């Protein structure tokens, strides 16, 4: 594909019948040779790229999941306290029920010094904790599929293996 400065795509082997206009904000990134918004298999949402780790078992502990994300210049999913419920709804649309109701996806939330803190150091002020949910309370959090987005987090022990969500900025390529 060839990209012209006007922000339109043309395939060199076919006569163009349709052009796709790109948002002007994305055009500068797409002009750079070899630059991509998100790696293969990642999903772009707002200004972030997300990987929903959906491989078959064995899954990973919270620590293993975090190392996996870090190797890809990412971190476990962090919810910005300024984000609306829309971001939680985006995550809920991309996670799937698997194995049993107590399995979810690790996120970057941990209990440190009696405070729930994101892996970037910010204190959690959202609190989308599941109500009427039986779990083994631990120092890490998962998001549970098929739950109300405002009540879908559960406190879990690191020894449990779950799927997970990595998040990274689009500008870190």
pLDDT tens digits for range 63-122? 999 999 999 999 999 876 556 567 888 888 999 999 888 899 999 999 999 999 999 998
Specify the 3-state DSSP secondary structure of 31.
helix
Task: Identify the helix (H) or strand (E) that includes residue 88.
Answer: helix 85-94
Domain ranges, ordered by start, for the chain: 1-35, 39-169
Bridge partners of residue 105, in order along the sequence: 143, 163
Q: Apex CA 109: angle with CA 157 and CA 66, to 5°? A: 75
What count of residues does the chain have?
173
DSSP secondary structure string, 101-113? TT--EEEEEEEET
pLDDT number for residue 35 = 61
Q: Give the global pTM.
A: 0.75
Say whether pLDDT at 12 is over 50: no
pLDDT number for residue 65 = 97
Architecture of the 39-169 domain: Roll (3.10)
Residue ranges of E strands in the chain: 2-3, 9-10, 43-45, 48-53, 75-76, 105-112, 115-118, 140-143, 153-156, 163-169
Torsions phi, psi of 165, nearest 5?
Answer: -125, 125
Say whether pLDDT at 133 is over 80: no
Residue 123: count of CB within 10 angstroms of its CB: 10
């Amino acid at each position: 594909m060839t990209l012209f400065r006007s922000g339109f795509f043309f395939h060199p082997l076919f006569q163009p019948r349709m052009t796709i206009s790109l948002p002007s904000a994305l055009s500068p990134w797409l002009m750079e040779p070899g630059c991509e918004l998100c790696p293969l298999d990642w999903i772009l949402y707002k200004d972030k790229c997300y990987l929903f780790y959906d491989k078959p078992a064995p899954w990973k502990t919270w620590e293993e999941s975090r190392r996996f994300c870090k190797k890809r210049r990412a971190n476990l999913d962090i919810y910005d306290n300024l984000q609306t419920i829309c971001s939680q709804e985006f995550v809920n649309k991309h996670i799937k029920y698997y194995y049993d109701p107590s399995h979810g996806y690790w996120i970057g939330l941990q209990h440190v010094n009696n405070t729930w803190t994101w892996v970037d150091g910010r204190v959690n002020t959202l609190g989308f904790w599941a109500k009427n949910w039986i779990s083994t309370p631990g120092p890490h959090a998962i998001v549970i599929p098929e739950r109300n987005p405002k009540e879908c987090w559960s406190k879990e022990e690191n020894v449990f293996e779950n799927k997970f969500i990595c998040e990274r900025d689009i500008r870190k390529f």
